[in-house]
Amino acid sequence: MEYHIRPAQREDVPAILHLVKKLAEYEKLADQMAATETLFEQNGFGGNQYFRALLAESRETEMVRPLGFALYFFTFSTFLGKPTLYLEDLFVLPEFRGKGIGKSLLVELGKIARAKKCGRMEWSVLDWNKPAIEFYLRLGAIPMDEWTVYRLDEQGIENLVKG
Positions marked catalytic: 136
Q: Give me the residue spans of the domains in the chain.
A: 3-162
d(CA 163, CA 161): 5
Q: What is the CATH number of domain 3-162?
A: 3.40.630.30
Entry pTM: 0.93
47-100 per-position pLDDT tens digit: 999 999 999 999 776 778 999 999 999 999 999 999 999 999 999 999 999 999
4-57 per-position pLDDT tens digit: 999 999 999 999 999 999 999 999 999 999 999 999 999 999 999 999 999 999
